[in-house]
Amino acid sequence: MFQTTKNSDQFDAISPQDRAMLDRINAYAEQVLGDIDPQKTRISFQLDKLKPIMQEIADEKGMKLEDVFIKYMDLASVVSAKQNALLKEDFDENGLTNFVEMS
């Protein structure tokens, strides 16, 4: 119903290389974390599960593991903020703003 033509807009703010890295880590996360509830699972557990792919990327790019983690968190934040902005825009366009503000 929402974001039918805007799905790719969420990645407009990041470079193709950064998007590839983000997509790679997210795909790996789906494999190793499965259906866990991120709200109920310790961050340290989640990060430990992502460490192998982040280390692989760090080795490929000649970066420190910590730098890959920071870059991943930054990119995820940018995409999340863009998704929230697009969702708000969709709500506004569909007259649902007042409904959202009531909750």
What residues make up the domain containing 19? 15-102
Q: Does residue 7 belong to any structural domain of this protein? A: no
Q: Does residue 2 belong to any structural domain of this protein? A: no
Identify the band that residue 91 occupies on the pLDDT scale cut at 50, 70 and 90.
confident
Tokens (6 digits) for 66:
């910590």
Q: What is residue 2's predicted lDDT score, i.e. its pLDDT?
A: 33
Q: Does residue 83 belong to any structural domain of this protein? A: yes
- CA-nearest of 65, 70, 71 to 52 is 65
CA distances from 77 to 11, 28, 92, 96, 102 (A): 11, 18, 22, 25, 26
Q: Does residue 3 belong to any structural domain of this protein? A: no
- CA-nearest of 25, 31, 71 to 51 is 25
Q: Does residue 26 belong to any structural domain of this protein? A: yes
Show the CA angle centred on residue 17, arms to residues 48 and 83, nearest 5°: 75
pLDDT digits (tens, 9 = 90+) for 55-66: 999 999 999 999
Summary mean pLDDT of the chain? 82
Q: What is residue 83's predicted lDDT score, i.e. its pLDDT?
A: 79
Tokens (6 digits) for 44:
């340290």
Q: What is residue 7's predicted lDDT score, i.e. its pLDDT?
A: 46
Q: Does residue 10 belong to any structural domain of this protein? A: no
Count of domains observed in the chain = 1
pTM beyond 0.75: the answer is no
